[in-house]
A and B are shown apart, each in its own frame.
Chain A
Amino acid sequence: MKKLILTVFCIFLFNGKALSLVQVDITRGNLDPLPIAVSPLHVESGSKDIKQDGKIIKNVGEKISKVIEVNFRRSGLFNPLKKDSFVQNPDIAHVKPRFEDWRLIKAQALVTGKVKVTDDKLRVEFRLWDTVAAKEMIALAFSTTPNNWRRVAHIISDKVYKRLTGEEGYFDTRIIYVSETGPKTQRYKKLAIMDQDGANVKYLTLGNELVLTPRFSPKNQLVTYLSYFRNLPRVYLLDIETGVQEVVGDFPGMTFAPRFSPDGKKIIMSFAKDGNSDIYTMNLETRVVEKITDHTSIDTSPSYSPDGKYIVFNSDRSGLQQIYVMRSDGSQVKRITFGKGLYGTPVWSPRGDLIAFTKVHKGKFYIGVMRTDGSGERLLTENFYQEAPSWSPNGRVLIFYRETKSDSQGKGFSAKLWSIDLTGYNERLIETETDGSDPSWSSLLSK
């Protein structure tokens, strides 16, 4: 009897509790970029100016915060607030932020920090604050040579990006591309490298040989590219950090788009042998070349999936240029695009979920993405001529190049680098000293 009473009591107790809990579903929110305040980093007393490339850089704290701010704005995910609206002085903010002041200007996150430059050392300390919860989210310090101040700014941007979005950043990265100068009919093409924001441009070749399709290794700072030596295509390997360059091999006929395997041990490319273009891989250690496809059609633009198990490429075996996926040994070839128009330059996302491509339809060029089975095609941008998408290391942004229309004499022609994110709304020009084409995004320099 006691047990029965107890059971009934328990049922009433828990039932009553369940009844008392009111549930409300929140299914809508604000999709605007997160308002963030980047307070200029406080420069500690006794700190020196930085001498770089014959220029003197004063107040490096402000410069670093400016680079961070530009990174955030370009990402499209954050809205860096104007410094004019800041209430609290940055010299005090780095010690203890007055959160009410930052909430007043609608900042939901705040970056503060301090910098000290000595003769051979730059020390940067930064903190990310949640102004609403009034608590610190992350605090880190970096020490490096003073000339690396921009990289420190990019690393801070990545740390903040990761803490606020949950995914890896892409700011401390480089982009290699083909720099182009001269009239359309006589272009000088040089290999160039720059930071992802367009700063620190360096030219890696002299421009006396034609260079094409540079591609970063996903593992390290190695680059493979194609260059014509005495009118013969050659595949090169270039170590960005040491500057050492070597010839991988001379390949007969038309050779296209060498690209690294995910482990960086192989190069995959297409070249024509006996008049037929197929896909081949080359082991960089043994230099053994292996034929992957064997078809009478033209197979080009191969790209590995991040796990290395599959290869996406384009082929005209159906009569029109379409995208195909196969296992990395060349078996189980499957066509994945069936839409109208021609598809080319497929690139597998580093996340593994999407494939980016160029589509040509009714005289217009599109950059788009689709799932790895070809479904869910989304065209992100349309223009007169654009191609060669390359993924950012976090698989959220694509970089590509776009050419403008020109007259019969080539006047009005230009080729520029552009970036677009997966939403398709955040399209931005990447400023470069010269015209540029064939960009390739590196992996994160600091992991």
Chain B
Amino acid sequence: MTRSIFLSLVFHSAMVVITALTLPFMKRAPIDLPPILSVDLIQITDKTSIPFAAKAAKTLEKIKKNEEERVVSEQAPPSEKKKEKPDKIPLPDDLNKEKKQIVKKKQNPEEVKEQVRQASEFEKKELFDPNQIAALIDKSKEETAETLQKSNKLTQSSVKTSFTNALTLSQEDALKAQIFGCWSLPLGLPYQENLLVRIKLRLKPDGTVLRSEILDHARMNQPGQGFYKVLAESALRAIRICQPLRVPPTGYEKWKDLQLNFDANEMLKG
């Protein structure tokens, strides 16, 4: 008797649990209320209460009249302009001049008139605070130095680009990536030494190596530089494994002589 009651209780409770878990209406979804909007109630009257509505009506009529008098075609043809033929083809120098002029127009802090430079009394005080002048000068120096550095960098890279016009940046990256994968660095190299090997290559048009030359060859025979031979050999091995090198399909004359600078300093010294 007790056993059957017990079993009945178990099954009933199991049914209740299953029902509670599975039936969708048992699960109350949270009420998603829209945000409250405040609305002002206005009483509508028969006549508008705007005081100068009559004046406005007159003005509107005037405008309408004017518009009617003015005849405008719906699709106006483009106005004909005389083609101004240039007297001569502009040379790059001329273009630069023009550009410079434009730049002049756009930005020239020296030309900014005093009227434009309006400042409040408070700002003026700040500007002319003698204690701040030194700091301002210093800062300006720093800024100038930074810009100079930046401009130098730009100049260098621009120079390099002009030198190495043979390879674009993406082509250079592709070549680097190829050699990175082929170069097994000898792991026992001394950390304190100069670990740079420069190798000059003469390439064939298909990227295979015609001739290779270690530029600091004499260093191999110097006492205590045994590791340099190992490093140079690893670099040569990398070139041989990698060849044909990924070189551009055009401009052979520009890249047929290629110098690879294998630098293990960064990797081993960290």
B184 with A32: CB separation less than 8 A = yes
Q: How far is the CA of A133 from the CA of B261 in the complex (A)?
A: 20
Residue B266, interface by CB 8 Å: yes
- Which one of B184, B229, B257 lies within 8 Å of A20 (CB-CB)? B257
Q: How far is the CA of A35 from the CA of B186 in the complex (A)?
A: 11
The stretch from A1-9, A23-31, A199-207, A263-271 touching chain B is A23-31
Given A167-B226, A353-B192, also A28-B163 (CB < 8 A): no
Given A22-B257, A33-B187, A164-B230, also A133-B236 (CB < 8 A): yes
Given A20-B254, A24-B261, A133-B237, also A167-B266 (CB < 8 A): no
A23 with B261: CB separation less than 8 A = yes
B188 with A24: CB separation less than 8 A = no
Contacts of A32 in B (CB 8 A): 184
Residue A427, interface by CB 8 Å: no
Contacts of B235 in A (CB 8 A): 26
Q: How far is the CA of A353 from the CA of B191 in the complex (A)?
A: 10
Residue B214, interface by CB 8 Å: no
Residue A396, interface by CB 8 Å: yes
Contacts of A163 in B (CB 8 A): 230
B259 with A166: CB separation less than 8 A = no
Given A24-B176, A25-B261, also A166-B183 (CB < 8 A): no
Contacts of B226 in A (CB 8 A): 162, 166-167
The stretch from B22-30, B37-45, B70-78, B164-172 touching chain A is B164-172
Contacts of B163 in A (CB 8 A): 18-19, 22
Residue A262, interface by CB 8 Å: no
Q: How far is the CA of A25 from the CA of B183 in the complex (A)?
A: 13
Contacts of A370 in B (CB 8 A): none
- Which one of A22, A108, A130 lies within 8 Å of B259 (CB-CB)? A22
Given A22-B167, A22-B257, A26-B261, also A130-B181 (CB < 8 A): no
**What distance in Å separates the Cβ of B115 from its nearest Cβ neighbour in chain A?**
52
Q: How far is the CA of A166 from the CA of B190 in the complex (A)?
A: 9
- Which one of B185, B200, B254, B255 lies within 8 Å of A31 (CB-CB)? B185
Kindly report which residue of chain B lies nearest to residue A137, judged by CB atoms. B233
- Which one of A21, A26, A164 lies within 8 Å of B183 (CB-CB)? A26
Residue A34, interface by CB 8 Å: yes
A166 with B184: CB separation less than 8 A = no
Q: How far is the CA of A359 from the CA of B184 in the complex (A)?
A: 35
Within 8 A of A (CB), among B232-264: 233, 235-238, 240-241, 253-255, 257-264
Q: How far is the CA of A33 from the CA of B234 in the complex (A)?
A: 13
Q: Summarize B's interface: helix, strand, loop or mixed.
A: helix
Within 8 A of A (CB), among B140-193: 163-164, 166-167, 172, 175-176, 179-190, 192
Given A20-B257, A164-B186, A396-B188, also A27-B266 (CB < 8 A): yes
Please tell me the number of chain A residues within 8 Å of chain B, measured between CB atoms: 34
Kindly report which residue of chain A lies nearest to residue B199, judged by CB atoms. A26
Given A20-B254, A26-B179, A31-B267, also A165-B188 (CB < 8 A): yes
**What distance in Å separates the Cβ of A425 from its nearest Cβ neighbour in chain B?**
10
- Which one of A22, A29, A77 lies within 8 Å of B267 (CB-CB)? A29
B189 with A166: CB separation less than 8 A = yes
Residue A320, interface by CB 8 Å: no
Kindly report which residue of chain B lies nearest to residue A19, judged by CB atoms. B163
Q: How far is the CA of A27 from the CA of B263 in the complex (A)?
A: 5
- Which one of B176, B188, B192, B254 lies within 8 Å of A166 (CB-CB)? B188
A29 with B180: CB separation less than 8 A = yes
Q: How far is the CA of A31 from the CA of B184 in the complex (A)?
A: 6
Given A29-B238, A165-B186, also A23-B228 (CB < 8 A): no
Contacts of B255 in A (CB 8 A): 22
A22 with B258: CB separation less than 8 A = yes
Residue A76, interface by CB 8 Å: yes
Residue A132, interface by CB 8 Å: yes
Contacts of A19 in B (CB 8 A): 163
Contacts of A162 in B (CB 8 A): 226
Contacts of A20 in B (CB 8 A): 166, 253-254, 257
Digitize A400-414: 1 where CB-to-B-CB distance is under 8 Å, 0 elsewhere.
Answer: 000000000000000
Contacts of A77 in B (CB 8 A): 186-188
Contacts of B190 in A (CB 8 A): 167
Q: Give the one of B172, B182, B233 with max A CB within 10 A.
A: B233
**What distance in Å separates the Cβ of B159 from its nearest Cβ neighbour in chain A?**
10
Q: How far is the CA of A130 from the CA of B266 in the complex (A)?
A: 26
**What distance in Å separates the Cβ of A428 from its nearest Cβ neighbour in chain B?**
16
Q: How far is the CA of A123 from the CA of B33 in the complex (A)?
A: 95
A21 with B259: CB separation less than 8 A = yes
A31 with B187: CB separation less than 8 A = yes
Q: How far is the CA of A108 from the CA of B263 in the complex (A)?
A: 20
Kindly report which residue of chain B lies nearest to residue A29, judged by CB atoms. B183
Q: How far is the CA of A164 from the CA of B234 in the complex (A)?
A: 9
Given A31-B187, A166-B226, A166-B231, also A26-B262 (CB < 8 A): yes
Q: Give the one of A26, A27, A77, A164 with max B CB within 10 A.
A: A26
Contacts of B264 in A (CB 8 A): 29
A22 with B185: CB separation less than 8 A = no
Given A24-B258, A31-B267, A353-B192, also A166-B237 (CB < 8 A): no
Q: How far is the CA of A360 from the CA of B59 in the complex (A)?
A: 96
Given A108-B184, A132-B237, also A26-B230 (CB < 8 A): no
Kindly report which residue of chain A lies nearest to residue B268, judged by CB atoms. A31
Digitize A18-62: 1 where CB-to-B-CB distance is under 8 Å, 0 elsewhere.
Answer: 111111111111111111000000000000000000000000000
Kindly report which residue of chain B lies nearest to residue A426, judged by CB atoms. B187
Kindly report which residue of chain B lies nearest to residue A103, judged by CB atoms. B241
**What distance in Å separates the Cβ of A333 from its nearest Cβ neighbour in chain B?**
26
Digitize B183-221: 1 where CB-to-A-CB distance is under 8 Å, 0 elsewhere.
Answer: 111111110100000001000000000000000000000
Contacts of B184 in A (CB 8 A): 29-30, 32, 34-35, 108
A133 with B240: CB separation less than 8 A = yes
**What distance in Å separates the Cβ of A351 from its nearest Cβ neighbour in chain B?**
8
Contacts of A423 in B (CB 8 A): 187
**What distance in Å separates the Cβ of B16 from its nearest Cβ neighbour in chain A?**
54
8 pairs from A and B in contact (CB 8 Å cutoff): A24-B258, A25-B261, A27-B263, A28-B266, A30-B185, A77-B186, A167-B226, A423-B187
Additional 4 contacts, C-beta under 8 A, given A23-B260, A31-B185: A23-B258, A28-B180, A34-B186, A77-B186
Query: What 9 pairs between A and B have smallest CB-CB spacing?
Result: A166-B227, A165-B188, A29-B183, A166-B230, A29-B185, A166-B226, A23-B259, A28-B180, A132-B240
